[in-house]
Structure 1
Amino acid sequence: MLNFDFYNPTHIIFGKDRLESIGTYVPTEATVLITYGGGSAKKSGLIDKVKTMLGNRTFFEFGGIEPNPRYETLVKAVEIVRNEKIDFILAVGGGSVIDGTKFITLAAYYDGDSHDLLQYGLSLIPLDVAGKAVSFGTVLTLPATGSEMNNGAVISYGHGKYPVMSVLTFPKFSIVDPTLTFTLPKIQVANGVVDAFVHTTEQYLTYPVDAKVQDRIAEGILLTLIEIGDTTIAEPENYDARANHVWSATLALNGLIGAGVPQDWTTHMIGHELTALFGIDHGQTLAIVLPALLEVRREQKRAKLLQYATRVWHIESGSEEEKIDLAILKTREFFEGLGIKTHLSQYGVGADKIPVIVEQLKDHGMTALSETGDITLDVSQKILERAM
């Protein structure tokens, strides 16, 4: 097992009817900004419920944080925070709203051009740069990104998607009530299952370091998602299935299974470019890239792929090559069984676009990806060709 630091201060408030506890966790004297997305939280009455739970606190609203939250939208919220002296933000929504809110909390106190905060990639923004951040909590409405219990965000600017990470951007608390996700469209639920699955594999399908606990937890998340994936889509008000989906998504990216193990975020980095260029849903891009990446990187990931084949897909017979082939096939079939297409061509993206995608990776500094830093642009091109 590799050396690691593990820090996660987020208080999770999980289960039915937990919304009414907001008043316990938002400071009594706080001036609150409620952030949310395209309007479903408003139309469903959730925002009104949140306002009621805030009682006599002074609060403001900022709606319209889009999927793949845009820098230009978020800086408008930063002005509200500064002008109204907001000292607590409550994000009501899924990963995009929470990610956007994390950026707002940092940018509100940043002295320079807030665009500078996009330059650090997967590295933590230094504390002497970030300084401090506005405290915030979340009300989760879409299980996918795990943003409700981590310190990472992805912000869109121009034709790129930029990771933003700081020790200051852990939510103080997150209300995680599975019933708040019951009205989600089926495609968003399916995308969420894929996102959680791939978050897990990117911390699991690397190379062995004898991290037995992390491996077993990762395998448990994958097995759970496989078991309940169809049910949570087909039966949206099946509480047990949705509760397991929600908690799997949270655990997949709260830092626990990534502690002390090598990580490979290539699938996400390539996927971000597909979303930025072609507007393909984030979860769908992951379902396109992961099987292709596993095929191209089968030698580098051989030991863990064989472990994955045996422990997750229960493949016991055949040669090593046959086991790996079948594990990758079953992964693709799992995504497709959720209603997610797994080839670029199925989204109208032709082979002529591969050089454009590779150029975007180059422009955004994605020239040495993977757990060992050896996925060059040439290798990324091979992955994209295999994903066609």
Structure 2
Amino acid sequence: MNNFEFFNPTRIVFGEGEISRLSSLVPEKARVLVLFGGESARKFGTLDEVKAALGDRHVSFFGGVEANPKYETLLNAIAQVKDENIDFLIAVGGGSVIDGTKFVAAASRYPSEPMQMLKKAGSDLKEAIPFGAVLTLSATGSEMNKISVITYAAAKAKMAFFSETVFPQFSILDPVKTFTLPPRQIGNGIVDAFIHVTEQYLTYPVNAKIQDRFAEGILQTLVEEGPKTVEQPDNYEVRSNLMWAASQALNGLIGVGVPHDWATHMIGHELTALYGLDHAQTLAVVLPSLLEEKQQQKQSKLAQFAERVWGVQQGSEAEKAAQAISLTREFFESVGVKTRLSDYQLDETCIDPLIKHLSDHGMTRLGEHRDIDLDACRRILQRSL
């Protein structure tokens, strides 16, 4: 196991009706801005619950945060923060709204242009406005980590930053708030959480037994509960397990002391930026093909994955590895997320622009060994057709 340091200060408040806890979680004198995405949070009463729980505090709202939160949109939220002297933020939504809120929290206190913060990936952040989250979509784990991904529409680029200043102070996880989500969003969330785990697990062994077992437990839960989550939209126990699995997938715990990959995400980000695919759709397209491309190198962990998650006991190590990749693709399809570029009306003509974007954004050495170069990316995309 590699050396590591682990820190996660986010308080999780889990269960039905816990939005009422906002009254004790937010400072009494706070001036609050609530950020949200579309109108579903208003339509289904979540914003009203938040407002009621905050009582007599000053509360303003900023809506319209996109599924891939845009830098240009969030600048308007920053202006509102400064105009109204806001000193506490609440994100009501899924990972995109929470990522956007992290950016607003950090950029509102940043001494230079916000773009400089993104270009430095948050490395020089000293402070941010405190904030909490009310989660309505289980997927990204942003409710319990220090990561934010922002879309800079003008350059068709997705830019990430990392900082301990943007850990949520608290996150309220009420599974009931996910009951009204459409199947597409549920399927996307399952895939997103699953691949967050594999990016930290399907690398190479370093004898990190606890991390492996935790990762495998999350993956097994997603495999068992994922299809039920799509089929039974108001099953509280199933949604509870999905919600907690997604948070555990990217709160830092399973990733300590082990090598990480993240090439699937880097390639996927360019697919979203250029062609507008949902984030999870890009991951479902790229991961099986990437695993095929790197099967020999990742064979040991893929075989372990086959045995412990998929229950494959027969065959050689290579045969188990191949079966694990096939079962993973089938699983994504089973929750409604297609796994081929052609499923999204993309053909081989999309590959050259993707390779150029990867090159332009410095994504020329990816993966746990930094050996997925642009030629390998091209082969992965060709496998994905």
TM-score bucket (shorter structure): over 0.9
Gaps of 5+ in 1: none
1:196-228 CA deviation, whole Å, 9 max, x = no partner? Answer: 000000000000010000000000000000001
**Please, what is the CA RMSD of the aligned residues?**
0.8
Give matches, 1:1-388, under 5 Å. 1-121=1-121, 125-126=122-123, 129-157=124-152, 158-388=155-385
SS at match of 1:2: coil
The one-letter amino acid paired with 1:279 is G
- Sequence identity (%): 55
SS in 2 for 1:156: strand
Task: Please list the CA deviations of residues 311-369 of structure 1 after superposition, one character each: whole Å capped at 9, or x if unmatched.
Answer: 11111111222211111000000001111110001111111110110111111111111
> 1:12 is aligned with what amino acid?
I
Q: Output the CA distance in 2 between the equivalents of 1:230 and 1:58.
A: 42
What is the letter of the counterpart of residue 256 of structure 2? Answer: A
Take 1:132 and 1:327, find their aligned partners in 2: how far apart are those partners? 44
Matched residue type, 2:85 = K
Matching residue's letter, 2:95 = G
Determine helix, strand or coil for the equivalent of 1:168: helix
8 Å CA contact retained: 1:149, 1:254: yes
Alignment-mate amino acid for residue 19 of structure 1: I
Q: Tell me, what secondary structure is at the counterpart of 2:21?
A: helix
Match of 1:33, SS state, is strand
CA deviations 1:54-109 (Å, max 9, x no partner) are 00101111101011000000011011111211110010000000000000001001
- Indicate the SS of the match to 1:130: coil
1:245 and 1:35 map into 2 onto residues whose CA distance is 24
The offset of 1:377, in angstroms, is 0.8
TM-score by structure 1 length? 0.97
- Aligned residue for 2:74, secondary structure, equals helix
Deviations 1:280-337 (A, max 9, x none): 1111111100000000011221111111111111111112222111110000000011
* Deviation by residue 1:108-127 (Cα, 9 ceiling, x = unmatched): 01111111122135xxx23x
For residues 211 and 192 of structure 1, what CA distance do their matches in structure 2 show? 27
Q: Match of 1:365, as an amino acid? A: G
**2: CA distance, partners of 1:58 / 1:324:** 56
- Following superposition, the deviation at residue 42 of structure 1 comes to 1.2
Moved over 3 A (4+): none
Q: Which moved more, 1:285-294 or 1:316-325?
A: 316-325
For residue 152 of structure 1, report the CA deviation from its aligned partner: 0.4
**Residue deviations 1:227-276 (CA, integer Å, cap 9, x gap):** 01111111011011110000000000000000110001011111111111
Distance in 2 of aligned mates of 1:104 and 1:45:
24
Task: Give the match's secondary structure for 2:166.
Answer: coil
Structure 2, unaligned stretches of length 5 or more? none
Equivalences, count: 383
> 1:66, 1:97 within 8 Å by CA — same for their partners in 2?
yes
Separation (CA, whole Å) in 2 of partners of 1:217 and 1:176 = 21
Find the aligned partners of 2:306 and 2:43 in 1 and give their Cα distance.
Answer: 44
**1:168 Cα shift?**
0.3
Note if contact 2:203-2:259 (Cα within 8 Å) is conserved in structure 1: yes
| Equivalent residues of 1:120, 1:163 under 8 A apart | no
SS in 2 for 1:309: helix
Task: Give me the whole-angstrom Cα distance separating, in 2, the residues matched to 1:299 and 1:325.
Answer: 10
Q: Give the distance between the partners of 1:271 and 1:120, measured in 2 at CA.
A: 21
